[in-house]
Amino acid sequence: MKDAAEKKRLDEAREEKIPWKKWGPYLSERQWGTVREDYSENGDAWNFFTHDHARSRAYRWGEDGLGGISDEKQRLCFALALWNGKDAILKERLFGLTNS
Protein backbone atom coordinates (compact mmCIF):
# COMPACT_ATOMS: atom_id res chain seq x y z
CA MET A 1 0.00 0.00 0.00
CA LYS A 2 2.88 2.36 0.76
CA ASP A 3 4.32 1.76 -2.72
CA ALA A 4 0.99 2.65 -4.31
CA ALA A 5 0.88 5.97 -2.45
CA GLU A 6 4.43 6.81 -3.57
CA LYS A 7 3.60 5.87 -7.17
CA LYS A 8 0.55 8.13 -7.03
CA ARG A 9 2.65 11.02 -5.67
CA LEU A 10 5.27 10.58 -8.40
CA ASP A 11 2.59 10.35 -11.10
CA GLU A 12 1.00 13.57 -9.84
CA ALA A 13 4.37 15.33 -9.95
CA ARG A 14 5.10 14.01 -13.45
CA GLU A 15 1.70 15.09 -14.75
CA GLU A 16 2.12 18.47 -12.99
CA LYS A 17 -1.14 18.12 -11.09
CA ILE A 18 0.59 18.77 -7.77
CA PRO A 19 4.00 20.53 -7.78
CA TRP A 20 5.76 18.18 -5.33
CA LYS A 21 9.17 19.08 -6.70
CA LYS A 22 8.65 22.86 -6.81
CA TRP A 23 10.76 23.43 -3.66
CA GLY A 24 13.60 21.32 -2.33
CA PRO A 25 17.22 21.09 -1.21
CA TYR A 26 18.51 21.95 -4.69
CA LEU A 27 21.41 24.14 -3.51
CA SER A 28 24.85 22.61 -3.35
CA GLU A 29 27.05 23.48 -0.39
CA ARG A 30 29.65 24.81 -2.80
CA GLN A 31 29.31 25.71 -6.48
CA TRP A 32 32.73 27.36 -6.54
CA GLY A 33 35.50 25.21 -8.00
CA THR A 34 33.21 22.64 -9.57
CA VAL A 35 33.82 21.31 -13.05
CA ARG A 36 30.60 22.89 -14.30
CA GLU A 37 31.91 26.34 -13.32
CA ASP A 38 35.39 25.86 -14.80
CA TYR A 39 36.18 28.48 -17.41
CA SER A 40 39.96 28.17 -17.13
CA GLU A 41 42.12 27.58 -20.19
CA ASN A 42 43.85 24.56 -18.66
CA GLY A 43 40.91 22.77 -16.97
CA ASP A 44 42.07 23.66 -13.45
CA ALA A 45 38.73 24.38 -11.74
CA TRP A 46 40.33 24.29 -8.28
CA ASN A 47 42.62 27.24 -8.90
CA PHE A 48 40.69 29.20 -11.52
CA PHE A 49 39.74 32.00 -9.11
CA THR A 50 40.15 32.89 -5.46
CA HIS A 51 37.67 32.79 -2.58
CA ASP A 52 37.38 36.60 -2.74
CA HIS A 53 36.41 36.32 -6.39
CA ALA A 54 34.06 33.38 -5.68
CA ARG A 55 31.98 35.28 -3.13
CA SER A 56 31.28 38.05 -5.63
CA ARG A 57 30.52 35.84 -8.60
CA ALA A 58 27.22 35.04 -10.27
CA TYR A 59 27.28 31.37 -11.22
CA ARG A 60 26.03 30.19 -14.58
CA TRP A 61 24.97 26.62 -13.75
CA GLY A 62 23.75 26.81 -10.17
CA GLU A 63 23.92 28.51 -6.80
CA ASP A 64 25.30 27.46 -3.45
CA GLY A 65 24.35 27.90 0.18
CA LEU A 66 24.57 26.37 3.65
CA GLY A 67 21.52 24.22 4.36
CA GLY A 68 19.71 25.96 1.55
CA ILE A 69 16.48 25.38 -0.30
CA SER A 70 15.31 26.77 -3.59
CA ASP A 71 12.64 26.46 -6.20
CA GLU A 72 13.29 23.87 -8.89
CA LYS A 73 14.97 26.37 -11.23
CA GLN A 74 16.97 28.20 -8.53
CA ARG A 75 15.27 31.50 -9.24
CA LEU A 76 14.63 32.02 -5.52
CA CYS A 77 17.14 30.62 -3.02
CA PHE A 78 17.17 30.65 0.78
CA ALA A 79 20.24 29.66 2.78
CA LEU A 80 21.99 30.29 6.05
CA ALA A 81 24.65 33.01 6.32
CA LEU A 82 26.83 33.41 9.42
CA TRP A 83 28.82 36.35 10.76
CA ASN A 84 31.46 36.07 13.47
CA GLY A 85 31.21 39.74 14.44
CA LYS A 86 34.73 40.49 13.23
CA ASP A 87 35.10 39.81 9.51
CA ALA A 88 33.89 42.21 6.86
CA ILE A 89 31.84 39.53 5.08
CA LEU A 90 29.12 37.04 5.91
CA LYS A 91 30.13 33.39 5.78
CA GLU A 92 28.11 31.52 3.20
CA ARG A 93 30.51 28.57 2.84
CA LEU A 94 32.01 26.32 5.48
CA PHE A 95 35.48 26.01 3.94
CA GLY A 96 37.49 26.87 0.87
CA LEU A 97 38.55 24.30 -1.66
CA THR A 98 41.37 23.01 0.54
CA ASN A 99 39.15 22.87 3.65
CA SER A 100 41.42 25.36 5.37
Domain boundaries, the chain: 22-93
pTM of structure: 0.59
E strands within 4-76?
A: 23-24, 66-71
User: In which band, very low, low, confident or very high, does the pLDDT at 29 lie, cut at 50, 70 and 90?
Assistant: confident
pLDDT at 35: 65
pLDDT at 100: 45
pLDDT tens, residue by residue, 53-81: 777 777 777 777 788 899 988 889 898 88
Which of 37, 39, 34 is CA-nearest to residue 59?
37
SS3 54: helix
Instruction: Name which residue leads in pLDDT, 18 or 45.
Output: 18
User: In which band, very low, low, confident or very high, does the pLDDT at 99 lie, cut at 50, 70 and 90?
Assistant: very low
